[in-house]
Structure 1
Amino acid sequence: MVAKKTALDKDLKWQRRMDAGVGATASLSAKLGLSLVFLLACSAFVAFHMGGLPRSGFLISAAVIGGYMALNIGANDVANNVGPAVGSKALTMVGALFVAAIFEAAGAILAGGDVVSTIKNGIIDPSQMPDAQTFIWVMTAALLAAALWLNLATYLGAPVSTTHSIVGGVMGAGMAAVGTHAVHWSNMGAIAASWVISPILGGLIAAGFLAFIKFKVLFVEDRVAAARKWVPLLVSFMVAAFTVYLMMKGIKKVWKADTVTIIMIGIAAFALTLWPVRKAVYRASMDMTGRRKEIASLFRIPLVVSAALLSFAHGSNDVANAIGPLAAIVSGVDKGEIVTSAPIPMWVMIIGALGISAGLLLFGPKLIKTVGSKITKLDPIRAYTVALSAALTVIVASALGLPVSSTHIAVGAVFGVGFLRESLSHRRRLNDAPPPPMLIGGTEGMDAQSQDIEALRQLDPGLAERAERKLRKRLLVRRRYALTIATAWVVTVPAGAFLGALLYFTIRGMMM
């Protein structure tokens, strides 16, 4: 009877796995089908409206590649904006997808600008190009190379910089076309520096704010009083930081203000926000007993707003990674000359904006889960520090003239938060200190493990000692994700360059 039951359990377990696999396959097929429909719509639109241009067939292919790049930007890069909010449960996955999709598209269309730089970060010297045709092939190869690399990184679950991806593609295709002397190597050195600067700076800022909140709000006896004092200041500071961030990065193509104006507007945003936030926090804390979850709930609304604003700024900036090379191709085909900055036709902007939103809705959840929950556990307080770090690091780096990547900043901030938690946890265990007030009521799982170890000690002291050592060394950051992501960061530019060169030779061979 037992044997039959065991066999039946195995059959049911196998059947459930089969059903899950079939469901996942069907879901993936539907997503790929919708992506194909979007790309076919891009090609049909260009064929209908641009059929009179010379070599319109090449332009149709370029539009499809630009749409494919936009899909991959949405699938990979947008996770950094909404991942912390989803991981902390301030937003559901569905809510985050729609908030990000709307604000990404709005940022791209409303604040994406009328002119775009066609050669990202000045990586290659356009004067080295022998003719416009070679330049068009270089841009096409670079765009497709970046899209393919982003697609692979998304499949592997690694959030990478779309800017670095397109830079690598441009560099490789440019070198394949005219040689290494076409590359501005000093600019490449600055990009390489951002691999280190961005995550470290983002991690330090996020960890610093988390430590401040822990010692000023969570590690005190009267946490409700501390929250009433500090949370309004922290939220108002976040509003000021995002106001400055949006002016520097989000709307700079629509209105470019001077430094003094930006600072004054940031101060005004802080002052105007402080009083209403203080009243809102006081009302929300009236019935609080001081548990950590109650204090953390005060950060939920700021997190939702930050996810929307980060998405808007990302859409206004990173849409250029898809439409910049595409605009260069359109101008090159239309005018027959090399252009370093090109006007953006509305249809090109729409392809970029809709492509990013579609890629996010179809394929974004995988990377959102990685950033929001798989690296380390986030709650609204930790997610707040990650979101604030994303804006503040860009402001600090811009003031210091340091190159940074928004992707590396956000992921570095998540790791910084996780490593700070680990450090405080290990230090407390090594010192055998009692849990601080913030842990009371929040360590049920840890206390249960400790009780299990005590019970095990009666049966097998050696095994209990090993289990206790493992508990003391409990890792709150999953190292395998750190290794995967760091490796992807390092190889992004070389991989993009290799693909760019390979695709340039392929395109040239096909067209000649």
Structure 2
Amino acid sequence: MVTTLLVVVVILAIVFDFINGFHDAANSIATIVSTKVLTPFQAVIWAAAFNFLAYFLITEHNVAGTVAKTVHEGFITMHVILAGLVAAITWNLVTWWFGIPSSSSHTLIGGFAGAGMTNALFMHAHVLDAINVQPILRIIAYIFIAPFIGLIFAYFITIVILHLCKNARPAAAERWFKALQLISSAALSFTHGGNDAQKVMGIIYVSLVASGFLKMDPHAANMPEWIPLTCYTAIAAGTMSGGWKIVKTMGTKITKVTPLEGVSAESAGAITLFITERLGIPVSTTHTITGSIIGVGLTKRVSAVRWGVTINLIWAWIITIPISALLAAAVFSIMHFIG
């Protein structure tokens, strides 16, 4: 029974990773498609290749370790993990259908935490005893901090570039920035793969712990090699399938993006994700690149950013963790009562 449930959980985790890829593909390719540097087909191939490259170059799984520690080990069961994954997949598909660039990361973490707290309730423990409060609070804080960091980086990168290129011929400068966008989008895709694939790695790792096949390690250092290989493959395959509804939102609805601004936004997003990955903070790629796009819009004028769209996105970010937690709580309760 445990082995069968483990197989189901691993398959669902890989499915979530694939959905994460096409849900968040827009983060890596929206600006490069909207500036017509690459066609949509070329862009998803480009992004997927650099998603997978992270497998060869990222050897420490700090983010995976953080995700694995979200729920205390005593409250983790296979049903908790299963309920969290079902909730995360459901919310990701709903937001994708409506073209809302919500966070796959926070969906997964919210689902896992919500199921864990519900399990604590059924075990007659305090619901907060089930979760590791410190990393949860840090993750929640970065809902706001990550896009703000991306915004600041993007704003100043754009200002510096504009100053350095103030005497350049516009046509020549545009050609250069279209070429540079290939590099900046590759960097963003690399950090997207390195950051987001690790979240699913953490879930699969903790399912092996809950099944008794592994002992919990705070840094997930004893993770079998097949887990990262499978997760990087799944997210790259998902990216190749695209996520066109969200590409439209990210690439055109927040602000109009030029090749120069695309370079700035993608570079700012990549820098932010690299720093947070090193610190083991599972931030949202979606939030980060949205903040970066807003940052480049602000260099023109405040009104260049479509604030109505932006505010709607922020509300989607805020509700993602609690809705995912409630969905997971409902799924876990159903499984509990039907035995």
TM-score, length basis structure 1: 0.58
Within a 5 Å distance, the mapping from 1:39-50 to structure 2 comes to none
Q: Secondary structure at the match of 1:421?
A: coil
Aligned residue in 2 for 1:465: none
Give the distance between the partners of 2:72 and 2:163, measured in 1 at CA. Answer: 52
**Pair 1:78 & 2:78 matched:** no
Determine if the alignment matches structure 1 residue 333 to structure 2 residue 245: no
Query: 206-215 or 174-183: which moved more?
Result: 206-215
* Greater relative contact order, per chain length (Cα 8 Å cut-off, separation 6+): 2
The within-5 A match list for 1:394-405 is 394=273, 404-405=283-284
Query: Is the Cα–Cα contact under 8 Å of residues 82 and 307 in structure 1 kept in the other structure?
Result: yes
> Match of 2:301, SS?
helix
Taking the aligned partners of 2:159 and 2:271, their CA distance within structure 1 comes to 16
Give the CA deviation at 1:175.
0.6
Inter-partner Cα distance in structure 1 for 2:7 and 2:90: 18
Alignment counterpart, residue 143 of structure 2, candidates 190, 195, 200: 195
1:489 and 2:287 equivalent? no
Q: Which residue of 2 aligns with 1:111?
A: 58
Q: For 1:141 and 1:395, how far apart are their aligned partners in 2?
A: 30
Deviation at 1:92, TM superposition (A): 1.8
Supply the distance in 2 between the matched residues of 1:393 and 1:116 (Cα, whole angstroms).
14
State the partner residue of 2:49.
102
Q: Secondary structure at the match of 2:241?
A: helix
Q: Is the 8 A contact 1:199 1:409 kept in 2?
A: yes
Q: Which residue of 2 aligns with 1:64?
A: 11
Give the paired residue count. Answer: 332
Structure 1 residues 62 and 342: CA distance shift in structure 2, 3 A: farther
Pick aligned residue for 1:296 from 160, 174, 191: 174
In the alignment, the residues of structure 2 paired with residue 212 and residue 114 of structure 1 have an alpha-carbon distance, to the nearest angstrom, of: 34
The equivalent residue for 1:177 is 119
2:287 aligned residue (376, 389, 408)? 408
The answer as to whether partners of 2:84 and 2:112 remain within 8 angstroms in 1 is yes
User: How many Å separate the matches in 1 of 2:119 and 2:192?
Assistant: 31
Among all aligned residue pairs of Structure 1 and Structure 2, give the percentage whose two residues are the same amino acid.
27
After TM superposition, the structure 1 = structure 2 runs for residues 342-491 of structure 1, keeping only pairs within 5 Å, are 343-394=222-273, 404-423=283-302, 475-491=303-319
After TM superposition, give the deviation of residue 96 of structure 1 in Å: 0.9
Q: SS of the counterpart of 2:243?
A: helix
Deviation, 1:354, is 3.1
5 Å-filtered alignment, 1:249-328, equals: 290=169, 292-328=170-206
Q: Is the 8 Å Cα contact of residues 98 and 245 (structure 2) preserved in structure 1?
A: no
Match of 2:124 in 1: none
Cα distance, 1:301–1:406 mapped onto 2, change above 3 Å: same
Tell me the distance in 1 between the aligned counterparts of 2:52 and 2:274.
23
- 1:331–1:85 CA distance, 2 compared to 1 (3 A): same
Q: What is the CA RMSD across the aligned residues, in angstroms? A: 3.0
- The one of 148, 152, 156 aligned to 2:98: 156
Give 1:343 deviation, angstroms. 4.3
Whole-Å Cα distance in 1 between the matches of residues 62 and 4 of structure 2? 24
CA distance in 2, matches of 1:481, 1:506: 36
2: CA distance between counterparts of 1:155 and 1:344?
34
Of structures 1 and 2, the larger Rg is shown by 1
C-alpha distance in structure 2 between counterparts of 1:481 and 1:152, whole Å: 18
The separation in 2 between residues aligned to 1:200 and 1:494, in whole angstroms, is 22
1:329 alignment partner, SS class: helix
Does structure 2 conserve the Cα–Cα contact (< 8 Å) formed by 1:204 and 1:416?
Answer: yes
Which residue type is aligned with residue 145 of structure 2?
I
Q: Secondary structure at the match of 1:124?
A: coil
The match for 1:138 is 80
Q: Helix, strand or coil: the match of 1:335? A: coil
Give the 3 Å change call, closer, same or farther, for CA 57–342 of structure 1 in structure 2: farther
Distance 1:151 1:143 in 2: 12
Q: Which amino acid aligns with 1:158?
A: I
Runs of 5+ unmatched residues, structure 1 = 1-53, 225-289, 424-474
Are residues 343 and 151 of structure 1, via their aligned partners in 2, closer, same or farther at CA, if it must alter by over 3 Å?
A: farther
The letter for the 2-side match of 1:58 is L
Partner residue of 1:166? 108
Shift of 1:158: 2.0
Match of 1:504 in 2: 332
Which deviations, in whole Å up to 9, do the C-alpha atoms of 1:260-307 show, x marking residues without a partner?
A: xxxxxxxxxxxxxxxxxxxxxxxxxxxxxx2x2431221222211222
Kept after mapping to 1: 8 A contact 2:33/2:251: yes
Summarize the Cα distance change of 1:293–1:159 in structure 2 as closer, same or farther, 3 Å threshold: farther
Q: Which residue in the other structure is 1:89 paired with?
A: 36
Query: Offset of 1:348 from its aligned partner?
Result: 3.9
- Secondary structure of the residue aligned to 1:90 is coil
